[in-house]
Structure 1
């Protein structure tokens, strides 16, 4: 039986949704699948033997046009495996051309180690920063993602080549913007984080922070500067107790994607038919994406 290892980083849950959706269609094809959270590997909480797998997948969200430092770090930790087949997938609020190069650094690192990254895809999921999509669109994106996942499984099992290309100069410029956002924007954002009176000291944020940036101190919860702006602590807090003082406009309230998407999927009053062939403006570029998911 063929074995696939899927390694993913997910800030607010969108990429984890895709990673888990991949499991069932692979299993229907008599493929054994094992999922690994990238931060567990990076933080040495879980080990994996790459040679155990016939194929590996690496998934990440697009954070500031990049894959996030923790995903790059994971790629750097991978052992050399000449000829090992691999694919990458990323989630973003839009399938726009600008997001297509977000995996480039990860792919470059892997290929330098001998991996044959033959498939690269992007899946649009609910936006989790600054712009709150209508719940109908969030549901529509999830429904399209289910179909996109089927295509990814078929393509990767058949070793169908798919590469996302972006202009080289533009890629370098976006890389600079990504570096600035993750290293400077995230630090500034983290300095303004604080737990409100709603905090019950359950320490979920402490346990779940992928960079170990949150700790419990005598008088409450402390936030360091090793933040990557993934938003997990804010959106996954069961008591909505973590508040942002700096760049507070980036926080969506309520956020109905990622970890919270079940409330949309189980609501029959939300029909998931937001973008149509008549859509204009920003949402017009989704028309082609949805048609390709069919």
Structure 2
């Protein structure tokens, strides 16, 4: 009898990847599978244990951070036990489906394959931008609706074990990897040095509890930020009082951020037709056309 248990492990900074992970789980469940969801940081912090051998299908999800998957995702892959060919799929979210983001999972995929996992499917979901650039909310809604359609296709493909590859030129991949590791090693530290708490902070400690790298702490002088920041933006966008502000690289903060959990409201907004990109789109937005039309969802 086929093992119908599936595990989806994900890291999500501002909520886009978490939404996709949950929608994939829902789609698999509708197809008579039994999916379980796990946050990678909970496993890495020892807050949750997993019987990996209990699952016949494993999914690995992450956002694209600086053309890579982030140190959290790479460390998670490294701590996985060896496998005897467990079917594994990888999915990523990014502000753009452009091929420069196609190689973001490759280091993780190589690690998985070296450990014996049958990593047969690699996909990307375009979601609202949470870094430097504010998308029009019509585009945010359009991308989310497109993603929901593509989730259904992904679920069918992974259950049928249909291979999917995202290709990128190896020279470009090496170049982008250097950018990623520089940003991963230094960008977050610079950004964290400029994080400040405003007077609107109520010391609810949500940021302390939620930081994936435990980089935020409460001390006698209030909230402090360490040097383990990975620039995921979770603390800034999830603070209920908007009490965390950036004073270094301030332009990276999107205001207001209407991705992540805010997407549910956009989906229900009757005043937002979700029609931003079309066949006549030009400039930056032109490259979304093929992605949206790919599965007849334009």
Instruction: Name the TM-score, length of structure 2 as normaliser.
Output: 0.97
Give the structure 1 partner of residue 114 of structure 2: 112
Q: Distance in 2 between matches of 1:42 and 1:169?
A: 32
In structure 2, the partner of 1:51 is 53
Q: Which residues of structure 1 form unaligned runs of 5+?
A: none
CA contact (8 A) 2:6 2:34 kept: yes
Deviations 1:134-173 (A, max 9, x none): 0000000000000010011000000000011111111111
Q: CA deviation at 1:261?
A: 1.8
Cα contact 1:236–1:259 (8 A) shared by 2: no
For the residue of structure 2 that corresponds to 1:103, the secondary structure is helix
Is there any run of 5+ residues in structure 2 with no aligned partner, and where?
Answer: none
Q: 1:49 offset after TM fit, Å?
A: 1.0
User: Which residue in 1 is equivalent to 2:181?
Assistant: 179
Distance 1:165 1:43 in 2: 33
Deviation of the 1:293 alpha carbon: 3.2
Contact 2:8–2:25 (8 Å) recurs in 1: no
Deviation at 1:259, TM superposition (A): 2.5
Aligned residues: 294
Pairing of 1:1-294 with structure 2 (within 5 A): 2-294=4-296
Q: SS where residue 37 of structure 2 aligns? A: strand
Shift of 1:133: 0.2
CA distance in 2: counterparts of 1:229 and 1:80, whole angstroms: 30
CA distance in 1, matches of 2:84, 2:189: 37
- Contact 1:8–1:59, Cα closer than 8 Å, also in 2: yes
Distance 2:187 2:27 in 1: 38
CA shift digits 1:88-127 (9 cap, x unpaired):
0000000000000000000010100000100000000000
The alignment's C-alpha RMSD in Å is: 0.8
CA contact (8 A) 2:215 2:228 kept: yes
